[in-house]
A and B are shown apart, each in its own frame.
Chain A
Amino acid sequence: MTEYSRMAKGKFTSTGGAQIVNLPFQPDFVELINYTAAATPANHGIPYAYWDANMGQGFAIVDLFNATPVLITDSVDLNGISTFSAGQLLQYGARQQVVGITKADPAVVTVTAHGLTSGDVVIFTGLYQSATTGMPQIDGIPFTVTVLTADTFSIPWNTNQSEYTALSASPSGAYMKKVLYPYLYEPGVAYISAITLGTTTTIDTTDAHNFVVGQEVAFRIPSSWGTIQLNSLPNTLTPGSPVYGYVVAVTDYNTVVVNINSSAYTAFNSNQPFADVSGQSFAQIVAVGDVNTGGVEITSGSALYPPPYISPIGTTRVNSINGPAIKGAFFNNTSQGFIVGAGTAAGDTSSVLVGAVSDVIYWRAFLHDLSIP
């Protein structure tokens, strides 16, 4: 060992999808032991895997059980092990051609070999089927995806409305890009996809809102979207005093209930005119503050002093690397480390680097002082 090298180890239980491991450094060497696969040899199992920075991002060398089963060696050439540094916003993956988008609720998008995982966030550009048809109204909106197949995913938006036309046959200029680090500073602003009016108001967002119960929120609803009464100003009761709501329930990653009685408000309208796309702004909900105190909810199995978290999909919670904070506080969610992908060995497409669901995987990560050359 040299003086300034970094070493870390740990374990995780596989979900079958790519696994992010946060570290205080970006390693140049990672090794994995899939304890489950090693203890019960079976065809396609990958008990050992290795990655060195010189192999390149997304690569890995693996030991793999063949049909006998005995160990052979192979390589994972795509979606193997890679490092990441989530320190700055507005970074995107490569543009991918949109093959089609259905006119449905939710809309289903086809992108050949999209490579996404449920919870990833994407944006679209150029969603025109022709000069006068398509769905450019949703260009630029960040959407959380729910993966359906290797080539399709859904987005939380209702395109089954009169102003939208389905996309098909890979229209020229229609692209999708993955937003690499969508939640570096939370809570923040989120675009609204639907509002259910009532004695309380239910808000659906296009990607994760990351609000908690007690969050104080404000609305920015352009007039064409309908429910402008939610906007915080002007307040006729006390002119000039902004009106805020509080989150009283968090249903899931993109749905919250706010304590505003909107029964008499104008209905929300996401059927935005195709012809008005240029200069169109979006309806938004934005975090203002919170009413929470220093107390933390302790439940069975919970951390005594939990860190702030994000909820990228469903009701999952992904903790930040931070120490404890007041719930609802603005927090920094930047991080770095490595990712174990769900790639397959070149010679065995039934194998999965990150293992099967519930596999227990031990890992060690290194950053060496001395690397020759």
Chain B
Amino acid sequence: MSITTTGNLGPMILQSLAPAMLYVPTPTMNYITVCDKVSMPANGGTTIRFMRPRALTPPTVQLGNSGIDPPAQVPQRDIIDAQMAFFGTGCIINEQVILQDQEGVLAWVSERLAVAMRQAEDLILRDYIVSAASDINAGGGSNGDNPTNLGVSDFSLVATTLDTNNAYKFMTGIEGMDRFGTGPVRSAYFMLSSTELQSDFDALVGSGFLSQWNYPTNASALPSEYGSVYNVRILTSSEAPVARQASDAGNDVYYNTVLGKQAVTHINQDGYSMNLIYRDPYYSGMLAQNATLAVKFAQAQAITQDTAIRNLLSTRASNLGV
């Protein structure tokens, strides 16, 4: 008896495309999340201007009985300008690719372009904050470096600094509940940090760090929220800024941005925050061979409350996984 196998009667087609695309590893984009959003109008020139009134001196001296008015105050304001810039990228796709490839090339390239644009927005904000916000070196850790690894006193110091500056916190507190293993969460600023520091945060459990999982309720927790220390809630991302081998001892230096509301503003122009542009091959050369897919956007950014933001620089206590 002979058995017919794939050895002598193989399938005509050896490959089959799996029905779903594999995911693309993509960092969490925290910087755009915490920015104020402002749209600059069309025909509004190149530069957006913010105005912030200054406080008037409170009249704490009594008038007395002379009947004479005190001198008038001169109101003042601070002006912050930011210049718009334009960005874009695209792909040229030959019609034979569109015609012959089994997968929906235009669909997934469109999706990739959109993600690239959103990531560009985030990276621009990230680098801008590194450039424009002042910094504090962590000194509460125990590794002896400069900056040190993060200690709980560093969280306290930076939150105290922002509180003293009358910054607005992002989040209200979460009351304690009668649930095992949970604890109340203070009203808080956000700290944008690196996923590479998560093991350092875990090492602070018991001395101030509360994992997001141990909040009384997770209703207000952001997807990238790792936990909180005192008045700081920590969002982590793998694209947080790191200066490699830049500390006193030659270790990696992490820029942990701690900020309150309105500290950084993201500006687009006339809703020009993203255009996805598809041009059919009809618009290419004589033989109309190539389609193009592209995205472009306009973006400016400004630190609009310099008193409400600090980069808390730190190194790392634990080894980095690879």
Contacts and interface: CB of A to CB of B under 8 A. Distances in A.
Interface string A198-226: 00000000000000000010101000000
Interface residues on A, range: 35 or more
Nearest to B80: A289
Given A125-B250, A185-B131, A218-B306, A290 B81 contact: yes
Contacts of B49: 326
A54 interface: no
Contacts of A125: 245-250
A238 B58 contact: yes
A328 interface: yes
A324 B245 contact: no
Nearest to A189: B134
A92 B244 contact: yes
A157 to B, nearest CB: 15
Contacts of A329: 47, 81-83
A322 interface: yes
A244 interface: yes
A185 B127 contact: yes
Given A185-B132, A287-B132, A328 B248 contact: no
A233 B164 contact: yes
Interface stretch (B6-14, B19-27, B145-153, B205-213): B145-153
Contacts of A287: 132
Interface stretch (B28-36, B98-106, B136-144, B268-276): B136-144
Contact of B81 (A186, A234, A328): A328
Contacts, number: 174
Interface string A229-256: 0001110011011101000000000000
A242 B137 CA distance: 22
A330 interface: yes
Contact of A237 (B46, B57, B247, B290): B57
Contacts of A237: 57
B137 A281 contact: yes
Interface size class of B (residues with CB under 8 A): 35 or more
A90 B242 contact: yes
A136 interface: yes
Nearest to A89: B127
Given A89-B127, A189-B131, A284-B135, A325 B245 contact: no
A278 B148 contact: yes
A282 interface: yes
Contacts of B243: 90, 92
B222 to A, nearest CB: 24
B300 interface: yes
Interface in A312-329: 322-326, 328-329
**A123, A136, A279, A331 — which one has the most chain B CB atoms within 10 A of its CB?**
A279
A59 B137 CA distance: 41
Contacts of B148: 278-279
B245 A186 contact: no
Contacts of B17: none
B55 A323 contact: no
A330 B49 CA distance: 10
A289 B78 contact: yes
Given A188-B131, A216-B79, A287-B132, A331 B85 contact: yes
A220 B134 contact: yes
B307 A242 contact: yes
Contact of A123 (B131, B147, B246, B301): B246
Contacts of A173: 249-250
A242 B134 CA distance: 15
B79 A291 contact: yes
Interface string B279-318: 0000011000010000000001111001100000000000
B285 A3 contact: yes
A323 B85 CA distance: 9
Contacts of A291: 79
Nearest to A233: B165
A197 interface: no
6 contacts: A3-B290, A92-B244, A92-B245, A175-B245, A330-B302, A331-B82
Interface of B: 45-47, 49-50, 54-58, 78-83, 85, 92, 123-124, 127-128, 130-141, 144-148, 164-166, 241-250, 253, 284-285, 290, 300-303, 306-307
Interface hub of A284, A290, A330 (most chain B Cβ within 10 A): A330
Q: Give me the 7 closest cross-chain CB pairs, A-B, nearest first.
A: A279-B139, A329-B81, A325-B83, A185-B131, A188-B131, A289-B80, A241-B55
A15 interface: no
A347 interface: no
Contacts of B140: 279
B244 to A, nearest CB: 7
Given A186-B131, A238-B57, A291-B79, 6 more contacts: A126-B248, A184-B127, A281-B139, A286-B132, A325-B46, A325-B81
A98 to B, nearest CB: 12
Interface string A70-111: 000000000000000000111010010000000000000000
Interface in A154-195: 173, 175, 177, 184-189
B165 A242 contact: yes
Nearest to B144: A278
Residue among A95, A322, A331 with max Cβ neighbours from chain B (10 Å): A331
A288 B140 CA distance: 29
Contact of B307 (A233, A278, A331): A233
Contact of B248 (A140, A288, A330): A140
Contacts of B307: 218, 232-233, 242
A261 interface: no
A149 interface: no
Contact of A277 (B57, B146, B244, B285): B146
A188 B165 contact: no
Contacts of A281: 135-137, 139
A279 B147 contact: yes
B137 A279 contact: yes
A186 B124 CA distance: 13
B148 to A, nearest CB: 5
Contacts of B141: 279
